[in-house]
Amino acid sequence: MSSIIIVLIILVVLVFIALVKTIQVIPQASAAIVERFGRYTRTLNAGLNIVVPFIDSIRNRIDLREQVVPFPPQPVITQDNLVVNIDTVIYYQVTDARAATYEVASYIQAIEQLTVTTLRNIIGGMDLERTLTSREEIIRQSEILRAEGEKQSSILRAEGEAKAAALKAEGEAQAIRTVFESIHAGDADQKLLAYQYLQMLPKIAEGDANKLWIVPSEIGDALKGLSGAMGNFGPMGGGSGFNPQNSGKDGGNGTGAADKAAAERREQPPID
């Protein structure tokens, strides 16, 4: 009995641990990164979330609220070669938890270095007096530089998407050429082509927007060949097929009776 109790206790503990790992409660204005076997799977938003225990793991929890971070004074050289120490306070907010986790090792350090670089670029073009009295201009120049960086990033992103689309189109064209060459190398006859086309008709008709069907010019001859091949099997077992001889015979009897009736009408004398 003691061994059974120990096993039951172990099972209860395992079930409890599994439940704890399965149910993940994410606070408001927070996000969590889920990895499965070390690979990114999804981002958990605020609320109750279910994950696979012992397989999924929480990599990082990100605070999505606006943060205020003061940085130590940074030495900056003005246009008149004077060194000033500038205190900086940064307000930032994470909008993409996945990018903040995987695209940079430490996004806070990256923000600090970007801020220092921007300040040095702006203040390096000002003298000391202008630096001390042009706080609003420094802020405006910083916003301009940030907008310019976003513009360049958008341009690079658009160029990358255009190149990806071109490569995709080139790959599809290469696939079509390969299929075309394979068909001609195999010397496929019209019956096989017609059969393959009939198999593809349901896929062509899928979707409400497909209102135009592309029919090859040779499909008529191919369908004729297919129908001729199927017609060779004909009606079997005494079926009621069409007999041209019987038709001709019936047609001949009908024509002869009509000629005879016309001759009799001509032989009758006219009635005064």
Contact (Cβ atoms closer than 8 angstroms) between residue 105 and residue 60 = no
| Structure token pair of residue 59 | 């990599």
Residues 73, 89: Cα–Cα separation, whole Å: 10
pLDDT value at 28 more than 90: yes
- pLDDT value at 15 more than 80: yes
Q: What tokens were used for 169?
A: 């189109």
Closest C-alpha among 90, 28, 39 to residue 61 = 28
Buried (b) or exposed (e) across 118-141, using 16+ Cβ within 10 A? Answer: bbeebbeebeeeebeebeeebeeb
Alpha-carbon dihedral sign for residues 176, 180, 185, 189: positive
Which tokens sit at 12?
Answer: 């209860």
pLDDT digit string (tens) for 58-94?
988 999 999 998 888 888 888 888 888 888 888 889 9
**Pairing of the two strands 47-50 and 23-26:** antiparallel
Name the pTM for this structure: 0.47
